[in-house]
Structure 1
Amino acid sequence: MINFIGQQVLPHFAIDDANAKISPLGNGHINDTFLVRWPQGEMVLQRLNTQVFPDADALVGNATKISDHLLAQASAGQYPLQVVEPVVTANHDAAIDLGEQGYWRAISYLRHSASVEVVETAEQAQQAARAFGDFAFGLSGLDANQIIDVIPKFHYFPGRLQQLQAAVDADSEGRLAECQHWVDFAFSQTGLISELESLEPKLPLRICHNDTKINNMLFDDRTMSAMAIIDLDTCMKGHLMYDFGDMVRTFCSPEAEDSTALDKVLARPDIFAAICEGYTQALAPVLTADERQSLWLGARIMPLMIGVRFLTDHLNGDKYFHVHRENHNLERAANQFSLYQSLLAQEAQFKAMLCEHETNS
């Protein structure tokens, strides 16, 4: 892969592969990402997964619109973070379509950036939640209808349950028996659908990040302050409760999302409180009462829904998420369902925290 990039991709950017250093970057589940350095500069290069993102042109177009808008906000002193920008080819193209050899795009690399895989402190959680809130607030002036849905119904819980049912019915890999108890558990939680149907029509449509993991917010390694929001691939129209819920999902547990130490997969109250504080403060000028009410639903629905997606992919033979070992997606599903159970066990305390920050905002 490294040789192919040097010989077939970098020439489109007028970069001599003999002078370039190419190394894998990050641990994303979907795309292949590399850091490219050469004497005159550096950039992040990605081969997009066109099975997941069949309309890759729309994805790149969305990212460009979002970057342009945030750059304008930053220039006016209205956006406090740095902005990751598209890097065009020597022919000023936004991407390179090499057919079976991949769809490639490049974005700017931010020096002095550092990422965190598992939240260790409430301060980290607060800073990251504030940054994602700043990101959403910065985009509140951009018409959400300008952004194309590259994955329709991405955060649509009833649809995800339908996909799970189809995977169960097919059992194409003969894996159902080993995970039947988790399948039964997922289908026992359909009560959230009625809450969703009651609340969602009241929520304004906004541009959401849709993948608010802690490692999609870069820290400045010199100060460990928030630097930038990255990975705009799933930015689409949606509701803020899902971004809030995905932060709860990925920040609150002290364990990685594929940890098999399920007894340690717990929603930490101090981290939850920090997310509430950072996110709602950043969005206070635009957050509606209905959106505030929706945050607890988002906190519950995201780990449950992602668990359903991991379980579905396991049953389907690991077609969507990259796996690194046998039963990896099943382990991820069990992890997410365990986190969901921990949230339910602390519902009264966590809802009180949301009410407290509603009062203080």
Structure 2
Amino acid sequence: MSAHPDLIPPCDVLEAFDLVPQSLARATSGLMNPTWYAHSSGGAALVLQRVNPIFSAEVNIDIAVVTEHLAAKGLLTPRLVPTRSGALWVEHDGVWRVLTRVDGICRDAIESPAQARAAGGLVAQFHRAVRDLEHSFRNRRLGVHDTAQHLRTLRDALVEHRGHRHYAAIEPLAERVFEAAAKLPPLPAVQDRIVHGDPKISNLVFARDSDRALCLIDLDTLARMPVALELGDALRSWCNPATEDAASARFVRPFFDAAIEGYSQAAEGFLTPEEWGAIPLGALTITIELAARFCADALRERYFGWNRARYESASAHNQARVQGQLRLAEGIRCELAALEDKTAAAFGR
């Protein structure tokens, strides 16, 4: 279910980017940026987006710099398409932009170890390609993976929303989140690196006729952070063959093994032992952190998009997401020692 289903791109925006109005087709996936497939008057296949207001317009400068760097390194990547006047974006009841469209498919879940291996390899190529990029990000995502702060936010939400209509159902979920978080060992202090910032499986484009991973999309989340958090976020997504909110959400060990193998082979010594050693714990930490974020928004109902076709409210959808992430976290916790051994073997210790 896409965000803002009734939104229609303004004619002035289409004119600015030289888009053919009749070519617009609304993308059916994606909860962050409303998206349309389109063609220019010259026939180029493009993507039109209205940028979510949580991001500043200058995030497009970051995207332009990083994608130019990726392209120079030979990586396939979507590129921003300027307006007729050369601007990277247009402001018209929001920020609008256009990007080149990479032909391929996006998946809601990984279906095989081969896909997980390809995903791991692609993200490693991305990380290696930007390791030498010198750039001061305009859109700074401070505290995006501050787990302690997200837990405090959940505690505050429990106090502020005691009158919420679903409070009786949400409070026990919150207690389960706090209990899981209390068992988390601290992550080691390591260097920040440039990362994608949201490498869930739906942000990877795969070839239509094979399991080959082509590129990363939705680059608004570009940032600097420890790679263990980036890969932790990736693995909690990739290793769950169901959706975030599914009752069948579970951790699939063969997907983890394949993803780690794919990443380590493509990384070619890129990470230090302290960095790769923290990847399994990063996966557990991010899964519990995300459960806390979903739980807080089950009360606040103002951040995450939600599926109106399946749920009666944002709260109901977020409650299902919390339960899914808690199931996933328990699966990771049960296998944490084995995951650490596999990671060490993959990186050649």
> Residue in 2 aligned with 1:158?
148
Aligned match of 2:225: 238
Give secondary structure in 2 for the equivalent of 1:104: strand
Hey, what does 1:181 align to over in structure 2? Answer: 172
C-alpha distance in 2, partners of 1:15/1:347? 50
Identity level (%): 25
Distance 1:2 1:185 in 2: 37
The aligned residue for residue 78 of structure 2 is 84
> Is residue 103 from structure 1 mapped to residue 95 from structure 2 by the alignment?
yes
- The C-alpha deviation readout for 1:82-128, integer Å capped at 9, x for no partner, is 11100110010000111xx22101111013x1111111100000001
Q: Which secondary structure state, in structure 2, belongs to the residue aligned with residue 177 of structure 1?
A: helix
Write the deviation string for residues 36-75 of structure 1: whole angstroms up to 9, x where unpaired: 125522210111111x22x222x1111111001111111x
2:264 — aligned with what? 280
1:253 corresponds in structure 2 to 240
Q: Deviations over 1:289-326 (max 9, x none)?
A: 1101211221111111111111111110x211111223
Counterpart check, 1:61 vs 2:52: no
Q: Distance in 1 between matches of 2:86 and 2:326?
A: 46
Structure 1 residue 219, shift from structure 2 partner: 1.1
What is the aligned partner in structure 2 of residue 358 from structure 1?
A: 347
User: Which consecutive unaligned segments of at least 5 residues does structure 2 have?
Assistant: none
User: Contact 2:170–2:298 (CA<8 Å) still a contact in 1?
Assistant: no
Task: Give the CA deviation at 1:258.
Answer: 1.5
In the alignment, what sits opposite 1:305? Answer: 289
Query: Are 2:20 and 1:33 aligned?
Result: no
Distance 2:78 2:68 in 1: 10
Distance in structure 1 (CA, Å) of the matches to 2:258 and 2:139 = 30
2: CA distance, partners of 1:177 / 1:5: 41
In the alignment, the residues of structure 1 paired with residue 7 and residue 179 of structure 2 have an alpha-carbon distance, to the nearest angstrom, of: 50
2:202 counterpart (215, 218, 225): 215
Q: Which has more helix, going by share of residues? A: 1
Amino acid at match of 2:12: Q
Residue 63 of structure 1 aligns to which amino acid in structure 2?
I
Structure 1 position 16, deviation (Å):
4.4
Q: Secondary structure at the match of 1:36?
A: strand
Q: How many residues align?
A: 337
- CA–CA distance in structure 1, aligned partners of residues 133 and 210 of structure 2: 31
Structure 2 counterpart SS, 1:218? strand
Matched residue of 2:228: which SS? helix
Q: For structure 1, list consecutive stretches of 5 or more residues without a partner in the other structure.
A: 75-80
Aligned to 2:305: 322
Q: In 2, distance between residues paired with 1:28 and 1:4?
A: 16
Answer yes or no: is the 8 Å Cα contact 1:148–1:236 preserved in 2. no
Contact kept, 8 Å, 1:209 with 1:234, in 2: the verdict is: yes
Q: Which amino acid aligns with 1:241?
A: A
Q: Which amino acid aligns with 1:49?
A: N
Correspondent of 1:335 among 324, 334, 340: 324
Aligned with residue 48 of structure 1, among 43, 48, 51: 51
Q: How far apart, CA to CA, are the structure 2 residues paired with 1:97 and 1:192?
A: 46
- Aligned letter for 1:167? A
Deviation at 1:150, TM superposition (A): 3.4
Alignment check: 8 A CA contact 2:288 2:329 kept: yes
